[in-house]
């Protein structure tokens, strides 16, 4: 039993990794713009379709899908930010509703192009098989290992962009004090656009690596997006650590509880815990305290 | 041609009408001080110039160019530096990062030139400290240094001595005079402390209820004027 | 000994290392009209926020009619008898002037009592009396967002009056008003203060002279001086913090 | 006031009600059934308008209460139907229970066999659920997007619960074949009567002193707190009442529709409800009639020919309404009319305010 739970725990890491990639994008956007993008799940879905198209029509394997999805979905994000979100600046609830409209349009658009059928994408052959981890009763798939490494790499890249580059410095300045950032000559609209594109691009990447695990369909992204909203609620904003912790707690708890009881009970328990936690910490666990 | 020319601006804050067809012009190389009691619109005037609270009517010309509808970041790049009331240092960024952000407005490389630390020697040991952990006086110096990093031609300062101990006030005074002399920066200053204003500036403008009430050379800021417009 | 309606004892408030209120001692007597002045950042608004329960003090006590109120929830502090006006006039934009006042009107704070309450003749009479006081009778049916800035200030003052407190805290009631409006407001506040205690935060000294008996000067979170208008005007320390110098006659 | 109804408008409302009541005589059974379902959506929209339009709480999970009420009624009818139709259900228990290996109705579910117990129990249960949920969130000043996101997650989880526990809920296929009240004119009139009652109730609430306080909370929560209102209590109360209204609407919907599934409890219906209110005009109550009847009506007319296009159209329309017509159809018309009146009386509004914001704006 302990062995089986440990195995689930390991599997949980790959779930955490995917959730982390999705939530990173959402957290960066929410941190800078205080906007919840209801179409985030559909950006995931489009990322998966990018992988499907590359594999099905061009015969390119999944590795190609990662940069392609980032660029395609990032470009869509740029358009959405430019065409819609900046017009609703300062009205977070309206933005949320308008992006729901975007979500409906994207889903229908994909249905029109690809039809409502489920699609399948294969993981790269090189990642077939798995590695045996002592103490676990199943081999740990190379593909899951790849997901974890990719997530860590993206986490590092995000950290590096935010904390080690001039652009990241501007982003953090906008996050902390938008008017003052403008006073210093920072083009905050450009920052908003690029941040939104980057966050969307990450969702696209997540979609690509989800494609071989899940069946690809127009509605596949929604539940992941909801989980990542919960990550933001639990982890708070303003720090990557909060996002990592939120994703880790939610991803692991859902996986292990799903194994012990079942999927839905796991979700229900995690949700209950989140609601109770924010009763104590309404700003989430890791928000910078400032007045 | 004046460096900054304000032509009859009306500025609102929400529904409240703060500046009433206010006109003002600042010549190149001047140090001018805006005086007036609290709530007469001094801060709003500076915010109108930098663009944070753009006027609804009237025009603002900087270097002969109409900037009335220009976005804040473009004005900054055009050469207007702004040190707001309360300093507004980025609390979670280091002093060095705060200064490097200041370089953006100057369209310059983001390395902070040594000359900045010549002006503000006490910032050198604090370079890696988080902005939020500094004292008020240190923050004020960072704020001025940051604005200076953007190589402004016009520097707007909102109560730079507010809540700051006398020794630091003296340093700020010396720095402002040096900036003016050596870097040929024109300075527009909002100030409550009369002595400081007298020592630093050449011209003064007194505002009353969103309008210019008096404008003259600092020498003519007599006690009668002070009693009429400024004393409690 | 005079009885105090409000006593502030050794109050300290620090925000991320910065001291906003610094061991403040401060009293208001029953029935008094007190004006609070001080340069920007002196802690005037923060003091109101602490009294009304928005912020918690780091240290110290606040007593209202001898009863400790620091740290209690906002609605309880109101129910004890303290009502406040915000610095920026804060009214309900999409409600009419009459509705704004009827929300504020004393009584019916509980969910169920308000559910079965309709403004009766007495309530309407009280609201009309306030409307007359604040010169807004002719605007009663207009939404608040259509008011001018000065009218909004009056409306909020009127709402505070309608909420019928023992102690009224008015934060900058004349900001953005014309001279005539300011004079009207001075008359209004003097009238209100006949029947209750009032604390006003204000910068406009000609207005302060019109209404004040006693003035308290705050500076860097501490009480710098207290006294009559004349005493404060001639106090060299006050001149110093306001103008940054010792004596006016020391001009170069 | 936005929801103001003069005598003239009252006459208009009575005419509309009369037309709706007479509809079975000229509309035919199919259209009558459809209109009955739309009226259930109208009730859901009314409840959303109470909490969002008037109080400023954006909930993306109110289908939970609608679907909850619906499942109680559908389950009750199904148990009864299975027990009394031995020709079709030999074992006397619902088909989905049998497929999942149950041999008899679980003891704890037996009371639901009586519709007179099940229907009120559903409404009360939903009220209790909303009360607990509201108590947890509103007491801690959770508002704005946080509230929206949490209610959304609540809806997602309930949908998954319904799908998961198929032995007791019918799972993915939902509950079907329990005999419905469709094509029953009397039942249509009952739905209409309840809708009118809810409209009256919502009017009563929003035009009372209590309703004014709700609107004050929407306009500026902080200001109301300093006037001595325990804002959370008001939110909890109205959230609970709205949930019970939704549950009644759901129950009627289930009885009329004859089939109920996880979609009626999930986020899609939750958000669709918000869309109806936004399109119709929040804070107007009338908009809660216009929104669902317009959108659902257009959907049933158009979606058969242009199935895929329809979704695209709804999404785009919603974006356009949120961006360019934040007051919705009725709200915009009312605002125009008020402005005309004000101009006629020579007191034009100084400026148009920003749309209603439920955010607590930090000051200082």
CB contact under 8 A, C39 and B192: yes
In the A/C pair of chains, how many CB contacts fall below 8 A?
A: 4
Range of the domain at C67: 4-250
Q: From CA C5, how far away is CA D28, in angstroms rounded? A: 73
Chain C touched by B86 (CB under 8 Å):
yes
Chain C hits for A289, CB-CB cut-off 8 Å, are: 16
Chain A touched by D314 (CB under 8 Å):
yes
CATH code reported for the domain at A2-114+136-280: 1.10.3470
CA-based nearest distance B218→chain C, Å? 10
pLDDT value, residue D346: 64
Q: Which tens digit of pLDDT belongs to each residue from D145-181?
A: 888 989 999 999 999 999 988 888 988 999 998 888 8
**Residue D354 reports pLDDT greater than 60:** no
Instruction: Answer with the residue of higher pLDDT: C63 or D300.
Output: C63
Q: What percent of chain D has pLDDT over 70?
A: 93
Three-state SS at C68 = strand
Three-state SS at D88 = coil
Q: From CA B104, how far away is CA B143, in angstroms rounded? A: 14
Mean pLDDT: which of C105-109, C111-115, D58-62, D107-111 is highest?
A: D58-62
pLDDT, averaged per 10 consecutive residues of chain A (291 residues), comes to 81 91 93 90 96 89 93 97 90 90 93 88 83 78 91 95 92 92 94 96 96 91 92 83 90 86 85 83 61 34
**Residue B110 reports pLDDT greater than 90:** no
Chain A hits for B150, CB-CB cut-off 8 Å, are: 184-185
pLDDT value, residue D182: 84
pLDDT value, residue D69: 97
Provide the CA A167 distance to its chain's centre, in angstroms.
21
For residue A285, what are its two tokens? 């666990």
CA-based nearest distance C184→chain D, Å? 22
Find the CATH number of the domain harbouring C162. Answer: 3.40.50.300
From the list C148, C244, C251, the residue facing B222 with the nearest CB is: C251
Provide the CA D241 distance to its chain's centre, in angstroms.
12
From the list D210, D229, D342, the residue facing C75 with the nearest CB is: D229
Q: List strand residue ranges (DSSP E) for chain B, in order.
A: 4-13, 16-26, 31-35, 57-62, 65-66, 80-83, 154-158, 186-190, 203-208, 211-217
Using an 8 Å CB-CB cutoff, list residues of chain A that contact chain C: 289-291
In angstroms, the first-to-last Cα distance of chain A is 48
Length of chain A: 291
CA-based nearest distance A287→chain C, Å? 15
From the list C40, C152, C244, the residue facing B196 with the nearest CB is: C244
Environment class of residue C124 by beta-carbon count within 10 Å: exposed (0-12), middle (13-18) or buried (19+)?
Answer: middle
Chain D hits for C116, CB-CB cut-off 8 Å, are: 208
For residue C80, what are its two tokens? 């004890």
Chain D touched by C164 (CB under 8 Å):
no
CA-based nearest distance A261→chain D, Å? 12
Chain B touched by C234 (CB under 8 Å):
no
For residue C87, what are its two tokens? 């610095």
Sheet with B80-83: list strands edge to edge.
Answer: B80-83, B154-158, B186-190, B31-35, B203-208, B211-217
Q: List strand residue ranges (DSSP E) for C4-157, in order.
A: 4-15, 18-29, 33-37, 59-64, 67-68, 82-85
Chain D hits for C74, CB-CB cut-off 8 Å, are: 225-226
Question: Average pLDDT over chain D, rounded to whole?
Answer: 87
Beta strand pairing call for B211-217 and B57-62:
unpaired
Q: Which of residues 146-205 of A touch D (CB under 8 A)?
A: none
Quick one: pLDDT band at residue D356, thresholds 50, 70, 90? very low
pLDDT value, residue A291: 34
Q: Which tens digit of pLDDT belongs to each residue from D258-283?
A: 999 999 999 999 999 999 999 999 99
Chain B touched by C230 (CB under 8 Å):
no
DSSP code string of D139-198: TTT--HHHHHHHHHHHHHHHHHHHHH-HHHH-GGG-EE-S---TT-HHHHHHHHHHHHHH
Q: How far is CA C85 from CA C33, C49, C91, C161, D230, in A?
A: 15, 11, 10, 10, 18
CB contact under 8 A, D356 and C114: no
From the list C145, C220, C244, the residue facing B195 with the nearest CB is: C244
From the list A169, A187, A290, the residue facing B100 with the nearest CB is: A169
CA-based nearest distance B73→chain A, Å? 4
Q: From CA D119, how far away is CA D74, in angstroms rounded? A: 9
Range of the domain at B10: 4-229
Chain D touched by A233 (CB under 8 Å):
yes
**Residue B15 reports pLDDT greater than 70:** no
CB contact under 8 A, C92 and D220: yes
Find the CATH number of the domain harbouring B144. Answer: 3.40.50.300
For residue A64, what are its two tokens? 């190609």
Q: Kindly give the parts of chain C with pLDDT less than 50.
A: 246-252
Q: Which tens digit of pLDDT belongs to each residue from B76-89?
A: 999 999 999 888 89
Three-state SS at C86 = coil
Contacts of D31 (CB under 8 A, 6+ apart): D23
For residue A182, what are its two tokens? 């403008």
Question: Average pLDDT over chain B, rounded to whole?
Answer: 90
CB contact under 8 A, B195 and C39: no
ipTM of the complex: 0.86
Quick one: pLDDT band at residue D65, thresholds 50, 70, 90? very high
**Residue D357 reports pLDDT greater than 70:** no
pLDDT value, residue B202: 93
Chain A hits for D358, CB-CB cut-off 8 Å, are: 93
Structural domain tally of chain B?
A: 1
* Residue found by looking up tokens 């509004």 in the block: D349
pLDDT value, residue C250: 36
pLDDT value, residue C243: 66
pLDDT value, residue C2: 62
CB contact under 8 A, C243 and B86: no
Chain A hits for C16, CB-CB cut-off 8 Å, are: 289-291
Structural domain tally of chain C?
A: 1
């Amino acid at each position: 039993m302990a062995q089986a739970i440990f195995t689930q725990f390991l599997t949980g890491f790959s779930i955490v990794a995917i959730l982390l990639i999705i939530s990173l994008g959402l957290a960066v956007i929410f941190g800078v713009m205080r906007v919840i993008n209801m179409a985030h799940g559909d950006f995931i879905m489009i990322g998966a379709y990018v992988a499907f198209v590359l594999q099905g029509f061009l015969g390119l394997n999944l590795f190609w899908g990662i940069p392609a999805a980032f660029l395609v979905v990032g470009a869509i994000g740029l358009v959405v930010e430019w065409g819609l979100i900046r017009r609703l600046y300062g009205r977070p609830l309206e933005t949320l509703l308008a992006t729901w409209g975007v979500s409906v349009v994207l889903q229908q658009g994909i249905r029109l192009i690809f039809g409502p059928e489920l699609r399948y994408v294969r993981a790269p052959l090189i990642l077939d098989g798995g590695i045996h981890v002592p103490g676990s009763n199943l081999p740990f798939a190379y593909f899951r290992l790849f997901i974890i490494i990719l997530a860590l790499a993206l986490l590092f890249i995000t950290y590096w962009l935010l904390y080690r580059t001039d652009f990241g410095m501007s982003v953090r300045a906008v996050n902390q004090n938008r008017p003052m950032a403008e006073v210093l000559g920072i083009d905050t609209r450009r920052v908003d656009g690029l941040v939104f594109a980057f966050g969307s691009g990450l969702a696209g990447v997540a979609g690509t690596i989800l494609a071989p695990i899940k069946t690809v369909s127009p509605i596949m992204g929604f539940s992941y997006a909801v989980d990542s909203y919960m990550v933001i609620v639990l982890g708070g904003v303003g720090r990557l650590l909060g996002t990592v912790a939120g994703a880790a707690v939610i991803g692991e708890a859902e996986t292990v509880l799903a194994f012990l009881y079942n999927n839905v009970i796991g979700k229900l328990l995690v949700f209950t815990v989140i609601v109770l936690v924010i009763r104590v910490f309404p700003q989430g666990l890791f928000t910078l305290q400032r007045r | 041609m004046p460096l900054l020319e304000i032509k009859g601006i009306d500025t609102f804050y929400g529904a409240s009408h703060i500046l009433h067809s206010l006109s003002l012009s600042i010549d190149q190389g001047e140090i001018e001080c805006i005086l007036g009691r609290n709530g007469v619109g001094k801060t709003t005037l500076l915010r109108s110039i930098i663009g944070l609270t753009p006027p609804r009517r009237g025009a603002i010309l900087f270097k002969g160019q109409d900037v009335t509808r220009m976005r804040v970041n473009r004005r900054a790049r055009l050469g207007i530096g702004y040190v707001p009331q309360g300093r507004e240092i980025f609390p979670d960024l280091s002093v060095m990062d705060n200064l490097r952000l200041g370089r953006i407005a100057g369209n310059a490389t983001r390395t902070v030139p040594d000359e900045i630390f010549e002006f503000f020697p006490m910032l050198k040991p604090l370079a890696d400290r988080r902005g939020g952990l500094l004292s008020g006086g240190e923050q004020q110096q960072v704020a001025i240094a940051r604005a200076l990093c953007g190589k402004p031609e016009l520097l707007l300062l909102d109560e730079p001595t507010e809540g700051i101990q006398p020794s630091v006030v003296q340093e700020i005074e010396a720095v402002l005079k040096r900036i003016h002399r050596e870097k040929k920066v024109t300075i527009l200053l909002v100030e409550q402390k009369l002595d400081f204003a007298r020592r630093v500036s050449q011209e003064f403008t007194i505002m009353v209820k969103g309008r210019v009430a008096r404008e003259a050379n600092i020498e003519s800021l007599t006690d009668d004027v002070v009693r009429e417009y400024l004393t409690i | 000994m005079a009885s105090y309606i409000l006593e502030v004892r050794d109050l300290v408030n620090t925000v991320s290392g910065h001291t906003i209120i610094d061991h403040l001692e401060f009293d208001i007597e029953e029935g008094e009209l007190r004006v609070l002045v001080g340069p920007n950042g002196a802690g005037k608004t923060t003091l109101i926020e602490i009294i009304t329960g928005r912020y918690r003090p780091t240290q110290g006590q606040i007593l209202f009619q001898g009863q400790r109120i620091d740290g209690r929830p906002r609605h309880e502090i109101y129910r004890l008898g303290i009502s406040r006006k915000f610095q920026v006039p804060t009214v309900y934009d999409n409600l009419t002037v009459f509705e704004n006042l009827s929300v504020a009107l004393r009584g019916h704070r509980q969910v169920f009592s308000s559910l079965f309450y309709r403004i009766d003749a007495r309530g309407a009479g009280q609201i009309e009396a306030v409307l007359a006081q604040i010169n807004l009778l002719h605007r009663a049916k207009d939404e608040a967002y259509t008011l001018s800035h000065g009218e909004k200030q009056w409306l909020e003052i009127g709402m505070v009056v309608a909420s019928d407190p023992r102690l009224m805290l008015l934060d900058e009631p004349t900001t953005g008003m014309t001279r005539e409006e300011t004079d009207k407001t001075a008359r209004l506040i003097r009238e209100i203060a006949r029947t209750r205690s009032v604390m006003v935060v204000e910068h406009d000294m000609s207005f302060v002279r019109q209404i004040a008996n006693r003035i308290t000067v705050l500076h860097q979170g501490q009480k710098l001086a207290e006294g009559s208008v004349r005493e404060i005007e001639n106090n060299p320390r006050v001149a110093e913090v306001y103008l940054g110098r010792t004596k006016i006659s020391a001009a170069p | 006031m936005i929801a103001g109804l003069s005598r003239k408008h009252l006459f208009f409302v009575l005419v509309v009600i009369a037309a709706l009541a007479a509809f079975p005589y000229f509309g035919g059974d199919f259209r009558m059934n459809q209109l009955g379902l739309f009226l259930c959506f109208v009730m859901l929209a009314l409840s959303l308008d109470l909490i969002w339009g008037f109080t400023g709480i954006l909930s993306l999970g109110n289908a939970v209460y609608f679907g909850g009420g619906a499942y109680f009624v559908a389950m009750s009818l199904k148990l009864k139907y299975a027990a009394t139709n031995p020709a079709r259900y030999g074992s006397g228990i619902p088909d989905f229970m049998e497929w999942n290996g149950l041999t008899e109705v679980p003891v704890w579910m037996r009371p639901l066999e009586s519709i007179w117990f099940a229907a009120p129990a559903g409404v009360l249960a939903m009220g209790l659920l909303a009360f607990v949920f509201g108590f947890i969130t509103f007491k801690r000043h959770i508002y704005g997007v946080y509230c929206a996101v949490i209610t959304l997650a609540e809806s997602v989880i309930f949908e998954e619960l319904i799908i998961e526990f198929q032995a007791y809920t019918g799972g993915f296929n939902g509950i079907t074949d329990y005999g419905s009240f469709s094509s029953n004119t009397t039942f249509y009139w009952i739905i209409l009567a309840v809708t009118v009652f809810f409209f009256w109730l919502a009017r009563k609430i929003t035009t009372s002193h209590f309703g004014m306080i709700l609107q004050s909370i929407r306009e500026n929560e902080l200001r109301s707190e300093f006037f001595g209102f325990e804002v959370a209590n008001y939110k909890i109360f109205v959230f609970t009442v709205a949930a019970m209204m939704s549950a009644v609407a759901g129950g009627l919907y289930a009885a009329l529709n004859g089939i109920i599934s996880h979609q009626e409890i999930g986020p899609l219906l939750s958000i669709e409800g918000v869309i109806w209110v936004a399109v119709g005009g929040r804070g107007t109550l009338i908009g809660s009639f216009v929104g669902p009847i317009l959108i659902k009506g257009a959907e049933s007319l158009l979606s058969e020919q242009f199935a895929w296009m329809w979704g695209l159209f709804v999404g785009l329309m919603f974006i356009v309404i949120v961006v360019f017509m934040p007051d919705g159809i009725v709200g915009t018309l009312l605002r125009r009319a008020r402005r005309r009146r004000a101009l006629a009386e020579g007191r034009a509004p100084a400026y148009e305010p920003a749309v209603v914001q439920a955010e607590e704006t930090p000051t200082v």
